[in-house]
Amino acid sequence: MHHVPLSSLMVTVVLAAAGCSTEPEAPPIEASRSFVVASHNETTLDVTLSAGGGSVRLLAVETQPSVIDVTFDFGDPVIAYRIDRDRGRGDFMPSGAPLDALDLRLIDQLAAELDQLVPQDAAERWRVEDAVMRQTSLMQIAPMGERLEATTFTAQQGWTHISCSCFNQYIGGGYYRTAGRGCGCTGGSGNGCKGRCGQGCGITSTPKCVGSTAYTQDCARHDWGVGSWASASDDYSFAGNNCSCSGVGTCY
């Protein structure tokens, strides 16, 4: 059974730290985060996250059956996708400045908030929710400081699933690397779950394991720095889930 749609929700987190009692007391350091859900139903998801002096509005609309427009509006830049699931086509339409560190931190926090809003089981999600989770996961690994170019990607570009088990396996392009499910599947560096089409093992994976549970060659090559973000776009947007969250473990 699907969750009840929300029309308006705000979550505010405030953290404060006081100075040590043995030294002159410093002014409190405060950081606030707000997450506002303006619309959440079968065809529309409209949310805004504000934190750290910046904000991002995520607007996703199913404009016609299985055609979903997803926009991440930072003010500058604005990153837009049009996902046509029936045709297996995705259009990437960025405008404005390159993404900076604040933009990517906002995306990470947005992903965490969406995890609380959207069903964990992909089979229970509306199409608009599934598109949002997939494109937000892709945005988490977007390059910082590079001007992004408009492009089109298709499911026909194809993808090759890899084994869910963690071992030194073939990841395409002539490369063999450690890849597969598990927080410890790092290959000696970086995050676990190498090859998952999503950042690390998911939101603080304890295990949340949100977004895709697809493990593919393109996503593995990106994780190992021998493949591009763009080449993994079709995998993130369209690849079926060949693994699961079970056996991931606990990541911090």
| pTM of the predicted model as reported, rounded to 2 decimal places | 0.75
Residue 179 has pLDDT above 80, yes or no: yes
Residue 41 has pLDDT above 80, yes or no: yes
Bigger pLDDT: 20 vs 108: 108
Nearby residues of 196 by Cβ (< 8 Å), 6 or more positions away? 181, 202, 212, 213, 214, 215, 219, 223, 243
CA distance 109 to 112: 5
Residue 8 has pLDDT above 60, yes or no: no
* Cα–Cα distance list, 30 to 14, 21, 53, 106, 203 (Å): 7, 19, 12, 17, 24
Residue 118 has pLDDT above 60, yes or no: yes
Bigger pLDDT: 199 vs 39: 39
The DSSP line for 179-237 is ESSSTT-STTSS-SSTTBSSSTTSTT-SS---S---BBHHHHHHHTTSS-TGGGHHHHH
Lowest mean pLDDT among 169-173, 175-179, 245-249: 245-249
**pLDDT class of 50 with cuts at 50, 70, 90:** very high
**pLDDT class of 53 with cuts at 50, 70, 90:** very high
**pLDDT class of 7 with cuts at 50, 70, 90:** very low
Q: Where do the H-state alpha helices sit in the chain? A: 101-117, 127-140, 217-223, 233-238
- pLDDT tens per residue across span 195-231: 988 877 876 554 466 667 889 998 999 889 888 788 7
Lowest mean pLDDT among 60-64, 95-99, 100-104, 141-145: 141-145
What are the boundaries of each domain within the chain?
Answer: 9-156, 160-252
pLDDT of residue 115: 85
pLDDT of residue 216: 92
**What mean pLDDT value characterizes the chain?**
83
Determine what percent of the chain is predicted with pLDDT higher than 70: 82
Residue 156 has pLDDT above 70, yes or no: no
CA distance 144 to 38: 28
pLDDT of residue 2: 58
